Chain A
């Protein structure tokens, strides 16, 4: 009953003309950046963040979230047509999507990915509605040491799972925490690392950092991309229609993909890319015809697309109920909430029900809008892919400049974005991933608060953090994650080394 009331409140917020407009704008931008290879949703969300200063918190969040899950819809388009993933989680979609296009079946592939995405997204929203209140209730029993432990686990998991060297990931988190210390200490009012610049008293601006590390760095790395390839297929509405066989073969994979995605989305550090990879692997393993995977199997397209869209929704569970983001994009969403003066966490649902439920209902409305955007308008997106990148990237640099300047009307921010851009590019060259840095930056100051409170309660005794049942268990899990990730990394790099030796011999 209560859920129904909440959903009614959410509907009221999400269906107001204003909010609907921002939701539409968000998913539209999301689709565009998802379709275009080279710009990720982190860069796009940070580009839109300055605009949200002018909006109420609910509209702001609804728009930014729309960019995020909208990109997952658009991401598959370039994978299928050009073998170039538009988003990282769409890498898997290339495996069978592109072969389908080569066989002249691009239309059904595009159509079925939209359906798969919608199914995944819808179920993800339902899971979000069902699980969030339970999580929030559970979260109320957590004490400061437990929060500290959950954050450490979240950061470690995000830094170590699936991205190269776990040590480098953790180092980036720590660097992010240090950068998060810059500015006035909230507790004592002391200035930390401000280098005598008044611009740094409020800390390094999240938007500047994110746009530099992800936007500018990405543009430097991709400026030489010589446009996208030629698209030979004419995509008409009629050519989109899947056969009955396509539907039959996709039903199971979409269901299983959705389940995999719903679970993994909520796990900190796992995220969309891992969800789509696992869903693909699962289908291949249980298929009676595993040999057709990689050669244009529709199952290989629909399962991962359901998974990443389901995960895109359930990723909001820890972010909204615990205030702990599981991925850098979620860290950015958390930052957006904080910018608007809303403290994410278990009290969000009670204190700002209109934001919480409005956001959740808007997800589902956004998913419907995305189906409308993606199926009838697919021709527009295909044409968008044909704009040469050499025209596109200077315009993006321009938009970044305007966005950053409009935060404070201070050229200092513009120069800072360049500095972080060059740093971000340098990090790529030496094989460091900037994503954990962003998470450390957002979570660092929050962690410091919980650490201080926890230590105050325990009289300065950190050992008691280890002996409390919840935080103790979480620290054990964190240790297991670190050991497992290190072991896995060593094994993989050793295998790679042996592989080289084998081929040499």
Chain B
């Protein structure tokens, strides 16, 4: 089980998998010849190189254990929720509701936030975002849409 928490073993393994994935993905691409490189030339060489580097990193990792830093689930969860919220809301309701959503949701990445303060922060940021991006910079996103 120690292998699964070993930084370099996991890192090396991931690189090998990515290399393999790119190699497989490049199968349909013409390799060409060195004289006339096809679109698959560089990707295939780079994919092999990546897998080789991954293997070396994996092997060196076997010799010395360095544990993976523990992942912090809370910020990942809330920042992900916030960004997804923005992406889902913005095409439907427009910029300001989307900004309020992302600011409010992602703020809980830090513990002990006050929901009322954060809701207020969301609204304030939405207004400021509207002023800067729509009024001043003129990006063409509706500020608020009513789809119903």
Q: Does A127 contact B (CB under 8 A)?
A: no
Known contacts A171-B53, A402-B133, A430-B68; is A190 also within 8 Å of B103 by CB?
no
Q: What's the dominant secondary structure at chain B's contact region? A: helix
Contacts A395-B103, A401-B86, A455-B37; A406 near B69 (Cβ below 8 A): no
Mask of B63-84 contacts with A, CB within 8 angstroms, 1/0: 0101011111011101110111
- Interfacial residues of chain A within 233-280, with CB under 8 A of chain B in the complex: none
Evaluate contact between A398 and B43: CB separation under 8 angstroms.
no
Residue numbers in B under 8 Å from A444 (CB-CB): 42, 46
* Residue pair A178, B110 in contact (C-beta under 8 Å): no
Let me know if B39 and A397 touch, CB within 8 A: no
Q: B115 contacts the other chain (Cβ, under 8 Å)? A: no
> Could you tell me if A422 and B80 are in contact, using CB atoms closer than 8 angstroms?
yes
Q: Does B147 contact A (CB under 8 A)?
A: no
With A394-B118, A397-B83 as contacts: A54 and B103 at CB distance below 8 Å: no
Min CB gap A277→B, angstroms = 24
Contact between B68 and A216, CB atoms less than 8 A apart: no
Given contacts A167-B56, A177-B42, contact A397 B106 (CB under 8 A): yes
- In the complex the two chains form, is A401's CB within 8 Å of B99's CB? yes
B114 to chain A, nearest CB (A): 10
Pair B79/A219 contact, Cβ less than 8 Å: yes
Highest count of chain B CB atoms <10 Å: which of A220, A221, A461: A220
B141 adjacent to chain A (CB < 8 Å): yes
Q: Is B2 an interface residue (CB 8 A)?
A: no
- Tell whether A431 is near chain B: CB-to-CB under 8 Å: yes
B107 & A390 in contact (Cβ 8 Å cutoff): yes
Report which of A168, A223, A394, A417 forms a contact with B57, defined as CB distance below 8 A: A168
Q: Is the interface of A mostly helix, strand, loop or mixed?
A: helix
A192 B36 Cβ-Cβ under 8 A: no
CA distance A389 to B113 in the complex (A): 11
| Chain B residues whose CB sits within 8 angstroms of the CB of A461 once the complex forms | 34
Q: When chains A and B are docked, how far (Å) is the Cα of A431 from the Cα of B82?
A: 26
Task: Give the CA-CA distance A187 to B37 in the complex, in Å.
Answer: 10
A418 to B105, CA, bound (A): 14
Number of A residues contacting the other chain (C-beta, 8 Å)? 65
Residue in B38, B49, B82, B87 whose Cβ sees the most chain A Cβ within 10 Å: B87
Q: How far is the CA of A456 from the CA of B42 in the complex (A)?
A: 14
By the criterion CB–CB under 8 Å, are A431 and B121 in contact?
no
Contact in complex: A432, B99 (CB < 8 Å): no
Q: Which residues of B contact A406 (CB under 8 A)?
A: 133, 139, 141
Question: For A455, what are the chain B residues with a Cβ–Cβ distance below 8 Å?
Answer: 34-35, 37
A406-432 interface with B by 8 A CB criterion: 406, 409, 411, 414-415, 417-418, 421-422, 425-426, 428-432
Once the chains are docked, how many angstroms separate the CA of A181 from the CA of B39? 9
Q: Quick check: A428 and B69 within 8 Å, CB to CB?
A: yes
CB distance from A199 to the nearest CB of B (A): 13
Indicate if the CB atoms of B50 and A431 lie closer than 8 Å: no
Give me 18 other A-B pairs in contact (C-beta within 8 A), A398-B125, A429-B71 excluded: A171-B53, A175-B50, A190-B39, A219-B79, A221-B75, A393-B110, A394-B109, A394-B125, A398-B106, A402-B99, A402-B133, A411-B87, A418-B87, A421-B79, A426-B71, A429-B68, A451-B37, A455-B35
Which residue numbers of A lie inside 8 Å of B, CB to CB? 51, 54, 165, 167-168, 170-171, 174-175, 177-178, 181, 185, 187-188, 190, 192-193, 216, 219-221, 223-224, 226, 389-391, 393-395, 397-402, 405-406, 409, 411, 414-415, 417-418, 421-422, 425-426, 428-432, 444, 448, 451-452, 455-456, 459-462, 497
Of all A-B residue pairs in the complex, the 3 with the closest CB atoms, nearest first, are: A460-B35, A460-B34, A414-B87
